[in-house]
Structure 1
Amino acid sequence: MADEQNEVPDSTAVRVALWRAMHVRVDPPPHVLEDETGLRLAAPDDGWQRRPDMDPRGTSGFRAAVVARARFIEDLVADQADHGVAQYVVLGAGLDTFAQRRPQIASRLRVFEIDQPATQDWKRRRLIELGYGIPDWLRLVPVDFEAGGDWWEQLSTAGFDPGRPAVVACTGVTMYLTKDATAATLRRLAGLAPGSTLAMTFMLPTELIDDADRPALEATKPQARAAGTPFISFYTPQEMLTMAREAGLQDAQHVSGSLLASRYFADRSDGLRPSSGEDFLVAAT
């Protein structure tokens, strides 16, 4: 998403990029994800690390969750690329930097990043200014969601081949959409070519969040509302699986945040662990 008037990405996209950079700067190795490219793109004011939402201790769980989900997606994309999948779609791409950080994998794919027109204009300009450029295999696809833009149509126009398998990632988006909008997206994705994979995050209802994480998550809700991006949709894992299967995605699985914590944060000496509250739907066609 983006501020259409000022042609800048919204605060949520920037915060996620800064958290990824904070992981490299304040957490000891091994780093789950090494990404300071988003920081370069965002180019925040000096002193950004002193922002309240960058507090190294207070926001450590959110920071860890962000890098865990990004690492999970990148591992999935790398695995699918090794199995011959050649298209990767990022819905709500924001300041995603996979194409810049992992060109040895990304260049084997055609990568489609979908977001609001202002975000895409801004990102295109920043990638050129920083010397990354826009390689032919990277397509920044502008879709005006607020005006009812058809992302599927724009994706096809950008060169996506619906007859070939793809990986589709959608992280940190469904909590901002109505359940009807998410169901419509799932129905569309169920029509992907056989051999395609979807990885989509969803936010759990409060009662399913660990007691220790609940106060911090509750505190973020009014902040999100004040920023114009209120959380409006929460799902139990069974509800999300049912929605996916009703949409036509029969091979649907729930991947919990605790599983990602065990996979990527086991045996850390600093005790860094992702906060609970956001899980994955992974489905194949």
Structure 2
Amino acid sequence: MADEQNYVPDSTAVRVALWRAMHVQADPPPHVLEDEIGLKLAAPDEGWRRRPDMDLRSTSGFRAAIVARARFIEDLVAEQAGHGITQYVVLGAGLDTFAQRGPEIASRLRVFEIDQPGTQAWKRQRLIELGYGIPDWLRLVPVDFEAGGDWWEQLSDAGFDPGRPAVVVSTGVTMYLTKDVTAATLRRLAGLAPGSTLAMTFMLPTELIDEADRPALEATKPQAKAAGTPFISFYTPQEMVALARDAGFKDAQHVSGSVLAERYFADRNDGLRPSSGEDLLVATT
């Protein structure tokens, strides 16, 4: 087995973590989400704030969208925990830090973070190095998707109880997967115990994105391809809701980026608003 020291986190996951930290460090309060733990995990070079993808003005919409979706997810998890849900699954967890920032809620749950083995080995090591450790209620579940790993089987092996309801989230993932893979994932998740909730982000086709946001999005496509993570799939809201209902979910709703903007940014006077381009599916069993 390779030395864990050789593993590095996915560059996209690092960028998301840095944007979340940048929101705290550079945007005026109130902050939609306060997360600098991901920055500690990533431990970037001292000049990370001078990176082109951290430019305060040109990437502000992306930064705002990232913290808006994270806040929405965490509000949803807190709400469901209040209703007695005890299992929370994060598909493609990356540098998610909910467990470290919100132990008063997270410790009442069993939190399962699923990601590639290298990322999980690296994250486990960093959490230990930083003194957070891995509490018993946090399960880092390594799944080798590229080798055809069965995430459902690995999840069960990690202690997930399919007979009890859960919250499952997947953010920033569907654009990298074929539509067939996403449909298969939805069918699997539709079999969760009654009372379960799925929240999944998806990217909109260019024609549904605000005209002012299109150039920035188009500029990210070749960058994603060059990084080995090309954007493959785009969905209209109607298409994504239909996929979920066809998969067997009892209810499926579209939550637009504009809804998140109104919920979390309406009272700001600094002009910070999420860019359009990524919306949410919320489905229940």
Normalising by the smaller structure, the TM-score range is over 0.9
Q: Once superposed, which parts of structure 1, at least 4 consecutive aligned residues long, lie more than 4 Å away? A: none
Q: What is the percentage of aligned positions where both structures have the same residue?
A: 87
**Closer/same/farther in 2, CA of residues 96 and 256 from structure 1, 3 Å limit:** same
Cα distance in 2 for partners of 1:250, 1:276 equals 28
How far apart are residue 109 of structure 1 and its match?
0.1
Residue aligning to 2:99: 99
Q: Secondary structure at the match of 1:186?
A: helix
Residue aligning to 2:134: 134
Write out per-residue CA displacement over residues 68-123 of structure 1, whole angstroms, 9 at most, x where no aligned residue: 00000000000000000000000000000000000000000000000000000000
Residue aligning to 1:263: 263
Is 2:191 the counterpart of 1:188?
no
Cα distance in 2 for partners of 1:6, 1:275 equals 35
**Residues 48-197 of structure 1 mapped to structure 2, 5 A cutoff:** 48-197=48-197
Q: Secondary structure at the match of 1:8?
A: coil
Cα distance in 2 for partners of 1:250, 1:75 equals 22
Cα distance in 2 for partners of 1:5, 1:35 equals 25
Aligned length: 282
Is 2:31 the counterpart of 1:31?
yes
Scaled by the length of structure 2, the TM-score of the pair is 0.98
Residue aligning to 1:43: 43
Q: Secondary structure at the match of 1:162?
A: coil
Cα distance in 2 for partners of 1:5, 1:242 equals 44
Q: What amino acid is the match of 1:116?
A: Q
Residue aligning to 1:274: 274
How far apart are residue 5 of structure 1 and its match?
9.9
Write out per-residue CA displacement over residues 232-272 of structure 1, whole angstroms, 9 at most, x where no aligned residue: 00000000011111100130000000000000000201010
Cα distance in 1 for partners of 2:227, 2:22 equals 22
Cα distance in 1 for partners of 2:6, 2:178 equals 26
Cα distance in 1 for partners of 2:261, 2:16 equals 18
Q: What amino acid is the match of 2:124?
A: R
Residue aligning to 1:247: 247
Cα distance in 2 for partners of 1:245, 1:135 equals 36
Q: What amino acid is the match of 1:157?
A: D
How far apart are residue 6 of structure 1 and its match?
3.7
Q: Secondary structure at the match of 1:200?
A: strand
**Closer/same/farther in 2, CA of residues 5 and 40 from structure 1, 3 Å limit:** closer
The unaligned stretches of length 5 or more in structure 2 are: none
- Kept in 1: contact 2:199–2:280 (CA 8 A): yes
The unaligned stretches of length 5 or more in structure 1 are: none
Cα distance in 2 for partners of 1:99, 1:60 equals 26
- Kept in 1: contact 2:5–2:122 (CA 8 A): no
Cα distance in 2 for partners of 1:62, 1:88 equals 26
How far apart are residue 166 of structure 1 and its match?
0.2
Cα distance in 1 for partners of 2:226, 2:275 equals 22
* Aligned alpha-carbon RMSD (Å): 0.9
**Closer/same/farther in 2, CA of residues 127 and 5 from structure 1, 3 Å limit:** closer
Cα distance in 2 for partners of 1:211, 1:6 equals 42
